[in-house]
Amino acid sequence: MLWSERGKEIIEGMGNICGSKEPELDLRGNLMRKRSTGADIDDVYDFHERLGQGSMGSVAAIRKKDTNAVYALKTIQLVRISKEMIQELRNEIDILMRLDHPNIIRPLELFERKRQMYFVMEMCSGGDLFERIPYTEKNAAIIINQLLSAIRYLHARDICHRDLKFENVLFETVSPDSMVKLIDFGLSKRYRPGHRMNEAVGTLYSMAPEVLNGNYTQACDMWSIGVISFMLLSGEMPFSGKNEEQVIRKLTSGSYTMKESLWHNVSSEAKDFVSKLIVVKPAGRLTAEQALGHAWVKQEWDKYQRLQSQSSDRKLGESIVSSLQQYGRYGKLRKAALMVIAHRAKPEQISQLRQAFHEFDSGHEGVITLEEMKIALGKYAISEAEVQEIFEGLDVDRTNQISYTEFLAATVEAMGLSREEQLAEAFDRLDSDDSGFISRENLKEILGSAYDANEVERMIAEGDFKQNGQVDYDEFLLLMSQQHEREVDEMAALPPPVGSGKVAPAAEEPLRG
């Protein structure tokens, strides 16, 4: 199952996101495609399998007609919810569009009709945390490390999830070694540092006591991580009772017991970790950053990383490095296309690339800094000057750090993920009005806040071998070919259509954002 039917309904009350109007999205935030009103989802996807049903809609697996790729579809029946909830749904989607972390679910497309909204997301086929009980202590620590990395990433961006629980953590695949993804940001909220939240939202068994009192901060997420850790290690909830009143009384007092029959084989480090998160006073809890540094989590994750590194192919590592070096020399349009391919890549296609990302991201922040890149590339005898050049070539949105998708975009070719199936999806996203070619207006739309008229002209020129002011599919495939340089002169020699404006090719430059 993709979404568990335990606890609350699959489709819950949508988020209550507050604050001022969000800034316009840039390329990375615009990778999700918003189909124009009236676009028919049935023209693009086939229904595959129903996965769950709620009071406001359903969740299903769907298959893209032109590529056969399988995704998850969340359908919302707009006639069943208020205008306020519709706006909250839009806010939830907006939050997801701005997130970019290996352990957070990715939004892919949005269709709107008069009575329905269709939200396409990546498919996680391994079920939720309930599906694989019981867990070894080692597996529990690896899962918690991933969740903490995601939470640290959220909190660094002033976002509180507010509904961390077993049902909202999914395994990407059915593989025993599958990584996990955090889902359902319907109750998430942006907060201003120093200000407190007051809505009593979430799910009781993992809800922090201060949330019940309506006066809390992002520390509520850390209590929930403690509850999840307790359940992974013991197989039972820390706070239970015959009725809701009993549960509330226990959790507000922080009264739980580690039964000897369930905890006798659990290490003292794991018990200490739990005890430092399930703390009634929020100020006494570990932060996400502190929890990532706790001996129990760090030791198990370091062991896991060493094993993964030992089993990785040295040649693959060299191929990834070669891709990083080559990517910086690509033009803006090609980089944008690779960003789309990376955004839509399946977990099994990029598992080795994600492992490489984790090796670079030694601070577990969900991004790669220049210093981290210097350390990671040091074993390949690459000079600091070249590392600097590689870093600047990868930093598409000019944030002085490398995001997960930026890293994937620079390395997907090492995994052979620029085949025509993936290229077709990339072209489809860039050709956002389905005209059959990439136009200036298409690029203006996807660049968003990074739009610059001169830059768009250079992007068009990069693939406009026929010199007719647009890039058709054949030109796009030629651009994306590793050997396209050999064929450019031949295609450029074709006479342009009468009345077309010739655009001189421009030097390739890093994409600003």
Helix (H, G, I), strand (E, B) or coil at 171: strand
DSSP 482: T
- Count the neighbouring beta carbons within 10 Å of the beta carbon of residue 107: 23
Residue 163 among the catalytic residues: yes
How far CA 101 is from CA of 82, 343, 365, in Å, comes to 31, 11, 9
CA distance 338 to 405: 9
User: What's the N-to-C CA distance of the chain in angstroms?
Assistant: 38
Side chain identity, residue 509: E
CA distance 434 to 431: 5
Q: Cα dihedral angle (76, 181, 147, 261), rounded to 10 degrees?
A: 100
Q: Is 265 exposed, middle or buried (0-12, 13-18, 19+ CB in 10 A)?
A: exposed
The H-or-E segment that residue 75 falls in is strand 70-77
Q: Cα dihedral angle (77, 80, 81, 87), rounded to 10 degrees?
A: 30
Beta bridge partners of 248: none
The H-or-E segment that residue 58 falls in is strand 57-64
Instruction: Say which of 100, 163, 221, 397 is annotated catalytic.
Output: 163
CA distance 320 to 314: 10
Q: What are the backbone angles phi and psi of residue 63, rounded to the nearest 5°?
A: -120, 130
Active site residues: 163
